[in-house]
Amino acid sequence: MGEGRYRLTINVTQFNRRAQVPNGTYYLIARRGEENHPASYPLRRAEELGDASRAFVYNKNFSAYTVTFGISDDEAAPYFLMRTYSFGRSGKKPSSTMARLKSKARKRWTKTKRKALRTVFAISAHKRPSDGSNILFASEARPNMQGNLKAVHDRMLERGLDSQFKFGYSFRTGRTSSRQSAFALAWEMGKANTILIDDYFAILKDLGNRDEQKIIQLWHAGSGFKSVGYSRFGQYGSPNLKNAHRLYSYAICGSQHLRDVYSEAFGIEREAVIATGLPRIDGFLREGRAEEVLVDFETDFPAAKDKRKILFAPTFRGRGSGDAHYDYEQIDFRELYNSCGQDTVVLFRQHHFVPDPAPIPEEFSDRLIDVAAYPDTNDLMLISDVLITDYSSVIYEYSLLERPMIFFAYDLDTYSATRGMHKDYREAAPGQIATTFDELAELIRAPELSNKETKEFVKENFDYVDTHNSDRVIDSLILSEPASEPQVPTEGEEQEITERVGEEDPGAPGQEDQLNEPTDNDSESSYKTEEEDEENQWQTSQ
């Protein structure tokens, strides 16, 4: 920064080989040649250091990681210090003999099924070919192959790579998982040389060997507004310091600009995030695709034929698929119907976590149309003239169309405070913002909407606006390795991952356990679970 001053940036959750800064008291020292220069701090401002300190509460409030700043007590050399410590607390003990017995039985069952799955994985690993030819396509959040996984898979078939590789498949959700499917997944994971996933994959906490397998995260979303994963550490929905995201060999993103964002969110090195572009964009941008989709769509939904189509596609509210919802009371359906007029329809597309359909009154169904059952959101975007969303990453693809977007953020202040944002929403949204329904209706009635913010958004988030994203993933990550290998912990340094199974969104709590059928919760106590015990034991060992 000039005049002998330097700026040092440390990510405290990702400093020690995919782990946090270890417990201890640290001097910060600049080394120039053989000389060491301890960092100082203006003593007249020493009281401000307390305001900069922070306690990160996580692990369902059973653990805390503190980072505090101060001045050393050496009067001759009062240097700047950073102190980091991890703490854990015990929960309430079971209140009855029956509760204690249930707790012990639950823990024994959890250990037993984990051991059984690891055994299946280990046996299957003996069948793993030495030529690296087994590839597993898997998701724990979708019932079938979609998005980036499908794009890469289909492109490999087009290139005839199925003659070189043998494909395996596993697609489950919290509602479709079972004991049988868990063992089948463990078997497929064991024999795979390369594992391709597109969402949070909690079973990595028990299975997977990065020393011998390549684990590639083809993250399903683009760059949205909300903070996720370790970007949320210490906030609502924070992940544990040890988490399945840490286990990726590589992850992909859309641009060099986003590598730091994804590195922070997943808790992995920047070098492990590769800017290949998103594979699902290939089909989205294919010439003639929009015309093909429009014919099929208007055949299925004749009420929308030859009309302006507005796609209403918000994200969900809640922690995950277990309690996902959207507050449709914010919408006056009658007024929305009138705002459309004779030439406009609104297509309601709920997030796939939200099970209930939009409560559209029957008398308005000729202009307000539920398209939740339509197979592909990207296809809906292609045939839409305007997009209405809020904090969803659907803006990522839609921006490529350079069409207007409206951001209906009725709960902007609450959402920003509880979920966190990478950027100021009002500055970053590539479109006009409505915080009330009246403002939304006024924008819908407007004869023209601006799309001037879209081009800048595309420039920032896309290095490639083409149809070769799948090829870049295949060529740089599957058929070869990136130019520089990311530094990852060795087998001896890895500790057991303790984040609970079933998260759909990085850092967002999910269902209790997808390895097997759900277990009953003990409603009479709030004592720690086995995962919470393991997290605190791991912290103590560090």
C-alpha to C-alpha distance for 482 and 488, rounded to whole angstroms: 14
Which one, of 314, 280, 281, lies nearest residue 142 by Cα?
280
Distance (Å, rounded) from C-alpha 163 to C-alpha 453?
A: 45
How do strand 166-171 and strand 80-88 relate by DSSP bridges? unpaired
**What are the Cα distances from residue 193, in Å, to 131, 134, 168, 256, 493?**
9, 5, 11, 28, 22
pLDDT recorded at residue 223:
66
Residue 508, pLDDT score: 36
In this structure, how many other beta carbons lie within 10 angstroms of the beta carbon of residue 12? Answer: 17
Single-letter residue type at 487: Q
Which helix (DSSP H) or strand (DSSP E) does residue 383 occupy? none
| Residues near 17 by beta carbon (within 8 Å), at least 6 away in sequence | 487, 488, 489, 493
Residue 387: the pLDDT is 95
CB-count exposure of residue 62 (10 Å: 0-12, 13-18, 19+): buried
Determine the pLDDT at residue 398: 92
How confident is the model at residue 77, as a pLDDT?
84
pLDDT at residue 523, as a whole number: 31
Per-residue pLDDT of the chain (542 residues), as tens digits, is 888 778 888 899 988 888 899 999 999 998 889 999 888 889 999 999 999 999 999 988 889 999 999 999 888 889 999 999 998 887 777 778 888 888 888 888 888 988 999 999 999 999 999 999 999 999 988 888 988 999 999 999 999 999 999 999 999 987 788 888 899 999 999 999 999 999 889 888 888 888 899 999 999 877 667 788 898 898 877 889 888 999 999 999 998 988 998 999 999 999 999 999 999 999 888 888 999 999 999 999 999 999 999 999 999 888 777 788 999 999 999 999 999 999 999 999 988 888 888 999 999 999 999 998 888 888 999 999 999 999 888 898 899 998 999 999 999 998 888 777 777 888 888 999 999 999 999 999 987 887 888 888 888 888 988 999 999 999 999 999 887 645 544 444 443 333 322 333 333 333 333 333 333 333 333 334 555 566 655 555 55
Question: Are 347 and 293 contacting, i.e. CB atoms less than 8 angstroms apart?
Answer: no
**Is 391:405 a contact under the CB 8 Å cutoff?**
no
Specify the pLDDT at position 537. 58
pTM: 0.81
Measured CA to CA, the distance from residue 340 to residue 331 in angstroms comes to 14
User: What angle do the packed helices 333-340 and 437-445 form, to 10 degrees?
Assistant: 10
